[in-house]
């Protein structure tokens, strides 16, 4: 099973990296948004309880945006493999279906982490200089969010028959989840009703965990009242539940 997981992981990484347009597009979009929104709203948005610039506040959210899109859209290969017959060939191989799930999730998480690290290199330019501990927390947060959404993307791709349907469903899901995660505007400044929605959003906790890492432990996170431990527990729990759901979905017949 280990050999099958590693083979699928390698295939997912190679397919994505060789598609240069997709690779560059997923990387360029968050950076472009960061520059446009960061400079455009810098004088209009303030972070409660902090003198951090909006560019500094927005960077962790842009990293999460790259992670979400990379993780989700890496699983388009599941739909494409069904259409080409590759998925059916993998299913008749003498390997458990869990190997397919783990291979795809591992591949998508690896790609998401790669994009997160590349965008994270911009952190020193806005005054964010996390130490070793903070860097490990930030990388762990990005990896957990990547695993969560790769697994969710896998589950949706397993059920959907066309890439058009996959794009439509994912676009409806991804943007609201990201906007309501505290990535774009502070949690502490949101209206009460909206704040409860944001607290129920698992991505909010992933963004908060990433902020803790980038701001440098044990510093507080501007714009939020969430603690490090609760955010870590929710983020880990979300990743585990998503992988379990993907594994259960993979037991369904493929049409």
- Given a cut of 80, whether residue 18 has pLDDT beyond it is no
pLDDT digits (tens, 9 = 90+) for 190-215: 777 888 888 888 899 999 889 888 87
Percent of the chain with pLDDT over 90: 13
Q: What is the 3-state secondary structure (H, E, C) of the chain?
A: CHHHHHHHHHHHHHHHHHCHHHHHHHHHHHHHHHHHHHHHCCCCCCCCCCCCCHHHHHHHHHHHHHHHHHHHHHCHHHHHHHHHCHHHHHHCCCCCHHHHHHHHHHHHHHHHHHHHHHHHCCHHHHCCCCCHHHHHHHHHHHHHHHHHHHHHHHHHHHHCCCHHHHHHHHHHHHHHHHHCCCCCCCHHHCCHHHHHHHHHCHHHHHHHHHHHHHHCCCCCCCCCCCCHHHHHHHHHHHHHHHHHHHHHHCCCCCC
pLDDT digits (tens, 9 = 90+) for 25-62: 667 777 787 777 777 766 666 666 566 677 888 888 88
Region 177-192: what's the mean pLDDT? 80
- Given a cut of 60, whether residue 218 has pLDDT beyond it is no
User: Rounded to two decimals, what is the model's pTM?
Assistant: 0.86
């Amino acid at each position: 099973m280990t050999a099958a997981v590693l083979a699928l992981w390698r295939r997912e990484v190679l397919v994505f990296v060789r598609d240069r347009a997709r690779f560059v597009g997923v990387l360029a979009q968050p950076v472009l948004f960061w520059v446009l929104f960061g400079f455009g709203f810098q004088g209009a948005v303030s972070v409660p309880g902090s003198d951090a610039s909006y560019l500094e506040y927005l960077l962790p959210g842009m990293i999460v945006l790259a992670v979400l899109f990379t993780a989700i859209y890496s699983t388009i290969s599941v739909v494409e493999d069904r259409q080409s017959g590759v998925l059916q060939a993998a299913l008749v191989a003498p390997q458990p279906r869990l190997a397919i799930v783990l291979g795809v999730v591992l591949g998508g998480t690896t790609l998401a982490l790669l994009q997160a690290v590349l965008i994270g290199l911009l952190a020193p330019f806005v005054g964010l200089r996390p130490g070793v501990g903070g860097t490990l927390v930030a990388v762990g947060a990005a990896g957990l969010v990547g695993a969560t959404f790769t697994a969710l993307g896998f589950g949706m791709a397993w059920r959907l028959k066309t890439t058009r349907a996959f794009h439509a469903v994912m676009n409806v899901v991804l943007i609201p989840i990201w906007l309501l995660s505290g990535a774009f505007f502070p949690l502490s400044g949101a209206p009460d009703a909206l704040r409860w929605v944001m607290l129920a959003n698992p991505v909010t906790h992933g963004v908060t965990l990433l902020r803790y890492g980038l701001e440098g432990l044990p510093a507080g996170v501007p714009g939020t009242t969430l603690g490090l431990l609760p955010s870590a527990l929710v983020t880990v729990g979300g990743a585990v539940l998503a992988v379990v759901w993907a594994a259960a979905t993979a037991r369904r017949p493929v049409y």
